[in-house]
Structure 1
Amino acid sequence: MKNIKSHFKFTTQQRNGIFLLLLLIVALQCVYAFVNFSSEEITVDSKALQLFQTEIDSLKLVELEKRKPKIYPFNPNFITDYKGYTLGMSSEEINRLLKFRAKDQWINSPKQFQQVTKVSDSVFNKISPYFKFPDWVTNPKPKKQYTKSFNTSKAKTEAEKIDLNTATAIQLQKVYGIGEAYSKRIINYRTKQNGFVSIIELNQVYGLKPETIEELKKSFSLKTPKAINKINLNTASKSQLVTVRFIDYEIAHNIIEYRTLYEGFNSFEDLIKVKDFPVKKIEIIKLYLRLN
């Protein structure tokens, strides 16, 4: 009992502290009881809030557009598997395009692209504005129309024709299709060969077209052909044969071998049967040969 009483004995300072604590509790209770702590009602401007929300949504859309992969102009003929996937094409549509291109065929219009791939209208409308085809497809150059054609000049008489072995560059250039370059080639060939043996040799001038040669024949002829000693095809030796244009030692050997096997040549056309014979040059070679 004595120990219990000792717990309720306080000093003066302790009692003063307890009293102040009680006063503070009472004061706080009064404040809580009589003071209104409820907050005032906040008014919201719905229009302003809606505008703010709209602005946020638009910013989100802009950000989403920025994150989307950009599409740049491209040639649909070169769409790869990955490229087609990023464009929204299915694997079947991509395979149809690749099979079409494997046949070395080309897509030349947006309409043809949809016909080949069978893409949906939504995908087609999204990617077709970015199709870029070569200029020769989108802007084909019109074909040149030649008002003047060959075979329009009148053939001259033999007396009026100019000797091809003495013709000047200026005279040659009067023929339609013969310019400075071609006239120079003709004269250079003539100089190198010491003159034309036959007008057939015009075929050996680089770049001359058959129709141009025909025009030349209307105004030129060989009045002074180069003199040559023709070699007997059926008796000529190898050393004699190699002096003929376009015949080398191997071809000369093959000619003699064929001649021995078939007991001579009956016509110049038999030369075609000779091994490795330059068939395209036979008309020139014949100018230097005879059969007897």
Structure 2
Amino acid sequence: MKNKNTLKQQWINYSKSQRIGLLLLVILMVLLQSVYFFGDFSSQNKNIAEKDNWLQKQGEIDSLKMTSANQKPVIYPFNPNFITDFKGYKLGMSTAEIDRLLAYRKQNKFVNSAEEFQKVTKVSDSLLKTISPYFKFPDWVNNKNKSTFNSDSKNFSKKEEVKKLVDINLASQEDLMKVYGIGEGLSKRILEQREKLGAFVSMEQMKLIWGLSPEVVEKLNQSFIIKSKPTIKKLRINDLSVKELSQFPYFRYNLAKEIVTYRSMNGDIKIEDLSKIKGFPVENINIIALYLEF
């Protein structure tokens, strides 16, 4: 009781400002205790965890970048007659070597072997050795370059097998229907495509005919071949209208429109410009270009 009276007396003896200060101090202590007990300090830990996670992912990204930098670009088979400036640069050709090839092609001439490619472009033996395994010429070129059998050859069965191959450009509907998997409908579709194109220039075109499965295409390649360079009426890509271009089997209306648009903005189209046209089927450019007149 005495302590209580003493505290009361001391409180009375304090000035007004001292009493206010003590009251504010007590309130501040209560607030600090409340924050300590009820405050959420998990956000700081969360930020630290997120930072650790980010650093871990950044390490994975850096590792992938190093792996990607060490990987060599994949080279797919291509027809060297249609090498563009960019393609030639990626292959390691000099500007002069690319220009020699383009000048040769402007004369509407084609290289048909690795040796002829080197003769025209004058590339080094080392570069030719690196890129020539990826050269892919049309079937009729490969067949022309194949050595014929000697009359004294002992492999008689192979000679008979070659004789059985039928030129796809001379095949009848009955010939096509002898292939397992090809009925009346598919054989008719193949003949209609041949008629629209004038002739096939490569057996690779069988893959572009709708409805032919990879298995059937393989069987066609076992029974048919392109024996000689066909004579075809070429499409004047720089003269024809959208409607006329769209009638070509490999050009739909939208692509024909893009061709005319590119032509109107850049002038006459050249072979090396085909890959620059929006929507152009670049994977088949070596086949389609054989049907075009520039």
TM-score calculated relative to the size of structure 1:
0.35
Give the helix-richer structure, 1 or 2: 2
TM-score calculated relative to the size of structure 2:
0.35
Higher Cα Rg: structure 1 or 2?
1
Larger RCO of the pair (alpha carbons < 8 Å, separation 6+): 2
